[in-house]
Amino acid sequence: MQKKLLGMAVAAALAMPTVALAQSAVQVYGTAHLSFNSSKFGDSTNGVPSVTKFGVNQHASNWGLRSTETLGGGMTGWFQAEFNMPIERTNGVNDGQGTARNSGLGLRGGFGNVYVGTWETPWAQTFRLWDVGTIGGWGPVTSIIGRRETTGGAPSRNCGNLSGAGGSVTGYVSPAPICGQADPGNFSATGNLGYPLWRRFGHSLFYESPVFEGVQVKVAYLPNETKSTVATATPATPATTTTPAGAASAGAIENPSAWSGSITWTGMGGRARAFIANMRAKDFSAVGNTDSGYTAGGGYDFGVANVGVTYEDYTYKPAAGDVKAKQWGAGVAVPLGPGKIGASYAKAKKLEGSGAPAANDTGAKMWNLGYEWALSKRTALGFGVAKIDNGADVAFSWTGQTLDNRGVTSGTVLSGVDQTNVFVSMRHSF
């Protein structure tokens, strides 16, 4: 009897590391997504001529690590770190911050999901409920809808990267970027006019409610860790052979923060979807002002076609006055053989409000059409065409776009440049 008990104890002891390993097992996952494309860039409004070229582009290629552990009482602890995966030689320079994609640490249970880290805002996550027509990464969410994309904390006018300098082959000097933002956060004739609405909040707090009758609530808070009680000016940047001298950047006493929330609904076996989301950003465009707006939309899968629509309305509040940006988009996917025909259309209206730029041909349109062939559950081929028509005073482009007319800048174009891409893409998930 004692030998039997001893044998059971030894077996249990030997099994414990295996159980612990299973509890804390780490999953490696990711997606490699590349396309070969012919890109045509039209003439710019500041005199740079058109060009047609070939390129190989990547579309949110990434890899990540996930781990979960059952804690008891219906709770689960979890961790995720997701990394950009540039499929090219970078000489040791990482493509953005190491975990610039969805990365966090949290607890799930009957109360929902609470976590901290860097993640898509509730506003940004709504694209999954309507954007059914994108093929090969060339679509509305990586261009006009959400006014492109970015990841970062709240802006700081006291940070070291406020260069005040920019430039192009024509000598145009662009405004200083706001620290923590991917775009200037101003309303000049550069960039796509204001910071992106599709964004990941960095170093933030997130909550997702349980799903009840298809309804879920999500909230994200970007804290005010860049709050400053001292205005620290940044010195002027000296001129170089390629960049004109930048003006000194004034510091500021500021208290930037932001939050975003959404209510989503899915029903009828997932065929019907609807959502509304908002975002409020304090001291982003100007100290003392709060930008705000909303997006709404949804979709329905009829079987013969899956359709989706969205609308965005956001008011930036720079010192010069309010600027209202409005965008809408629609997508459709039609099953055909082992894949789908996908098509999308999106439009950005001309900026409105007292702070809109004097040169205000700021409207833009985008469309795409293509076919995606599912070779397996994890591998797909796609081909198609996508185009952006920019107004003379706006510069929308796709994330990951081929180097522009100047041959030096990826993912951006000069004002007024139209772009057409004919592409063949491949995507593999693991």
Q: Mind listing the pLDDT tens digit for each residue in 155-206? A: 877 765 443 333 222 332 333 445 655 443 344 433 345 788 999 998 999 9
- Please, which pLDDT band fits residue 125 given cuts at 50, 70 and 90? very high
Domain that includes residue 123, residue range: 27-232+252-429
Q: Is 22 part of any domain?
A: no
Q: How many domains does the chain have?
A: 1
Q: Is 258 part of any domain?
A: yes
Burial class (CB in 10 A: 0-12, 13-18, 19+), 214: middle
pLDDT at residue number 148: 83
Dig out the tokens for 160 from the structure.
Answer: 């070291």
pLDDT at residue number 16: 42
pLDDT at residue number 89: 59
pLDDT at residue number 406: 85
Q: Is 135 part of any domain?
A: yes
pLDDT at residue number 58: 86
Mean pLDDT of 26-41: 94
CATH code of the domain containing 275:
2.40.160.10
Q: Which one has a higher pLDDT value, 390 or 25?
A: 390
pLDDT at residue number 150: 81
Q: Is 13 part of any domain?
A: no
Q: Is 243 part of any domain?
A: no
pLDDT at residue number 412: 78
Q: Is 414 part of any domain?
A: yes
Identify any residues that bridge with 418 across adjacent strands, giving them in sequence order: none
Whether residue 7 has pLDDT greater than 60: no
Conformation bin of residue 393: beta by default, left when phi > 0, alpha when psi is -120 to 50: alpha
Smallest CA-to-CA distance from 427 within 383, 367, 385, 389 is with 383
pLDDT at residue number 12: 47
Whether residue 96 has pLDDT greater than 80: no
Q: What is the pLDDT of residues 289-311, one digit of tens each?
A: 999 999 999 999 999 999 999 99
Q: Is 239 part of any domain?
A: no
Mean pLDDT of 207-211: 98
Q: Is 223 part of any domain?
A: yes
pTM: 0.85
Whether residue 100 has pLDDT greater than 90: no
Q: What is the pLDDT of residues 243-284, one digit of tens each?
A: 445 544 556 788 999 999 999 999 999 999 999 999 999 998
Distance CA 260, CA 314 (A): 13
Four-CA torsion 180, 185, 189, 192, nearest 10 degrees: 70
Average pLDDT, the chain: 83
Distance CA 404, CA 420 (A): 12
Contacts of 428 by beta carbon, 8 Å cutoff, 6+ apart: 31, 32, 33, 378, 379
Give the count of beta carbons closer than 10 Å to the beta carbon of residue 366.
Answer: 27
